[in-house]
């Protein structure tokens, strides 16, 4: 389940690679930094709400997809909650891999992945041998791996193209809107269950409500500038249609 939003980040990395390669050949660093910022922001608005939504609806989503006993449901839900934190890091690290390849850095992602894997292994051994976390320790180690890989790749990008991350609209605002969406989803799910709506139906309705509210928040809270909206094909069509109607 947690790999679904990461697939979108992988698609973003594939889309970014050709344009970054072309701009790198012409030494247009300013445009490269602009492309990276838009890609980071787009990855944020995809991975962050998915992570928050899975965290809030961990048990209901597991129950929606699988038939489990109450004990298994709690265990799987707890594990999914831990993996939620890795979704954002995996999304960014996947994007960073594409960016690094576009800038001609082929060896660095492999080396960084190896370093992150060694660190993950150390953390996993320590957690399994010194704590009673069990399977949750595996989830924590996976999150550590994703976070470490993102950090190492981001450092290389920063040095290669002198990239400085903009945080307010690229990270903090999408995170805030995701948390707001998560609160609404949690309230909607509890409210539907209180009204004796079937658990699986309540989960689906809550997801639809949350997704709809999040899209409205993204489009109305200034996450994207008009120029950035026009750089995204689907949103460009919406903007152009709105302009014609005006």
Residue 52: its pLDDT value, please? 92
Nearest 10 degrees: CA dihedral of 56, 60, 65, 69? Answer: 130
**Does residue 134 register a pLDDT over 90?**
no
Q: Is residue 77 a contact partner of residue 203, using CB atoms and an 8 Å limit? A: no
Q: What is the pLDDT of the chain when averaged over all its residues?
A: 84
More confident residue, 83 or 126: 126
Nearest alpha-carbon partner for 135 in 216, 179, 76: 76
Q: Locate 27 and state its tokens.
A: 């030494």
Is the pTM above the cut of 0.85? no
Integer angstrom CA distances of residue 100 from 39, 84, 159, 236: 13, 25, 11, 27
Neighbour count for residue 139 (Cβ, 10 Å) = 22
Nearest alpha-carbon partner for 157 in 91, 108, 228: 108
More confident residue, 112 or 101: 112
Contacts with 185 (C-beta within 8 Å, 6 or more apart), sequence order:
53, 56, 57, 206, 207, 209, 210
């Amino acid at each position: 389940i947690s790999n679904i939003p990461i697939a979108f980040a992988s698609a973003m990395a594939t889309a970014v690679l050709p344009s970054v390669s072309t701009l790198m050949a012409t030494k247009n660093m300013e445009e490269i930094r602009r492309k990276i910022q838009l890609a980071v922001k787009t990855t944020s608005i995809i991975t962050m709400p998915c992570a928050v939504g899975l965290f809030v609806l961990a048990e209901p989503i597991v129950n929606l997809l699988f038939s489990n006993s109450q004990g298994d449901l709690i265990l799987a839900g707890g594990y999914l909650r831990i993996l939620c934190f890795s979704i954002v890091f995996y999304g960014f690290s996947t994007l960073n891999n594409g960016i690094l390849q576009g800038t001609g850095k082929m060896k660095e992602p492999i080396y960084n992945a190896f370093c992150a894997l060694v660190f993950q292994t150390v953390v996993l051994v320590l957690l399994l041998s010194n704590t009673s976390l069990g399977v949750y320790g595996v989830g924590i180690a996976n999150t550590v791996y994703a976070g470490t890989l993102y950090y190492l790749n981001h450092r290389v990008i920063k040095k290669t193209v002198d990239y400085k991350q903009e945080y307010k609209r690229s990270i903090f605002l999408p995170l805030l809107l995701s948390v707001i969406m998560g609160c609404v989803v949690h309230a909607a799910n509890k409210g539907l269950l209180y009204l004796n709506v079937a658990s699986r139906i309540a989960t689906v309705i809550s997801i639809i409500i949350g997704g709809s509210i999040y899209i409205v928040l993204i489009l109305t809270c200034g996450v994207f500038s008009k120029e950035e909206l026009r750089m995204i094909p689907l949103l460009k069509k919406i903007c152009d249609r709105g302009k014609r109607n005006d």
